Amino acid sequence: MSKPYIIGIIPARMASTRFPGKPLALIGGIPMIGHVYFRCKMSKCLDEVYVATCDRAVMDYMRSINGKAIMTADTHERASDRTAECLLKVEKETGHKIDIVVMIQGDEPMIVPEMIDAAVAPLLSEPGLQVVNLMSELDNRADHDDPNEVKVVVDRQNNALYFSREPIPSWKKGAKQLPMLKQVCVIPFRRDFLIKFNELEPTPLEIAESVDMLRVLEHGYKVKMVKVDHETYSVDTPADLKHVEQIMKSGELLKLYS
C-alpha cells in the first residue's frame, strides 16, 4: 500500500474582527504566519505546506520567504471553506491527488511539528475515521471561562462529546477533579470528508457555539481527539500576541528558523 499524500494548509486573512492584520503581526521580528509555516514545514508527516489567503500582503510575504501560498476567494466565512478551495487548486496545479489535508490555524504560532504528526496518526491507523482534533489541558479557571478558548469534553475513547465556548464541564456539581480541556486547532481531514463537510447543512449547535466541529457531531460523525502536552496559546488579541512573544523567546524551536 502506498503512503498517503498529506499536505498542511494554513488559512490566513488580514480582516480579523478582533485583531486586524493578525497574520503579519510580528513576533520576535517574524510575522506570525511565518512562525506557523516554518514550524509546519518541520513535520515528518507532511509532504507539503501551503498558506491559503485572500490577501496580497500575505501572498507577498510568503513569496519573500520562498513559501508556497494559494490565493483564495475573499468571500469565505469559515477556514474550512478556504482550506477546501486551496486543496482543489493545489490538486489542479500539481496533478497530485491529496489523501489527507491538515488544517492548521494561522494564529497558532507556538505549534510544534510533533503536534501535527500526533494529529495525523489516527487517520493512518483507523480507516473509518474521517477527522481528528488536538486537545490540551487548561491549567487555570480564567482560561476555562474565556470564550475565545473552545472547550471540549470527550468519552472514554477520546471521541468528542461536545464543544463549547462556555466552561465545560461545569464546576458547580463537583467537576473540579476533571481535566479542563481545550481544542487546539490542528485538524486533519480525509480529503473527501473535508469536501463533504463544507456541503453539510450548518447546524443549530454549530451556529450557537460558533464551533465548526459541532456540525460534524450533529450530522452523526465522530471527531477523534488526541491529547498533547505541549504548551500552546492561540493569538486572538494584541494582548495574546505579547504573551506568546514572551514565551517564545526562550523556545528552542525558534532558533532553527529565526
Among 112, 130, 128, 109, smallest CA distance to 188 is for 130
Collapse the DSSP code of 93 into the 3-class scheme (helix H, G, I; strand E, B; otherwise coil) and give the result: helix
Is this model's pTM higher than 0.75 or not? Answer: yes
CA distance 245 to 241: 6
User: What are the sequence ranges of the domains in the chain?
Assistant: 6-253
Question: Which DSSP helix (H) or strand (E) runs through 57?
Answer: helix 56-64
Phi, psi of 254 (to 5 degrees): -55, -35
Instruction: Name the pairing type of β-strands 151-154 and 69-71.
Output: unpaired
Number of continuous H segments (helices) and E segments (strands) in the chain: 9, 12
- CATH fold of 6-253, please? Spore Coat Polysaccharide Biosynthesis Protein SpsA; Chain A (3.90.550)
pLDDT at 1: 59
CA distance 47 to 153: 32
pLDDT at 251: 84
pLDDT at 152: 98
Sequential DSSP letters for 128-196 = T--BEEEEEE--SHHHHH-TTSPEEEE-TT-BEEEEESS-SS-TTTTGGGS--EEEESEEEEEHHHHHH
Sequential DSSP letters for 192-217 = HHHHHHHHSPP-HHHHHHT-THHHHH
Cβ atoms within 10 Å, residue 12: 30
User: Per-residue confidence of the chain (258 residues) as pLDDT tens digits?
Assistant: 578 999 999 999 998 877 999 999 999 999 999 999 999 999 999 999 999 999 999 999 999 999 999 999 999 988 999 999 999 999 999 999 999 999 999 999 999 999 999 999 999 999 999 999 999 999 888 999 999 899 999 999 999 999 999 999 988 777 777 889 999 999 999 999 999 999 999 999 999 999 999 999 999 999 999 999 998 888 989 999 999 999 998 888 999 998
Residue 109 grid coordinates: 504560532
Residue 140 grid coordinates: 487555570
Question: Which DSSP helix (H) or strand (E) runs through 243?
Answer: helix 238-248
Q: Which residues pair with 23 in a beta bridge?
A: none
For cell 461536545, the residue is 162
CA distance 101 to 98: 7
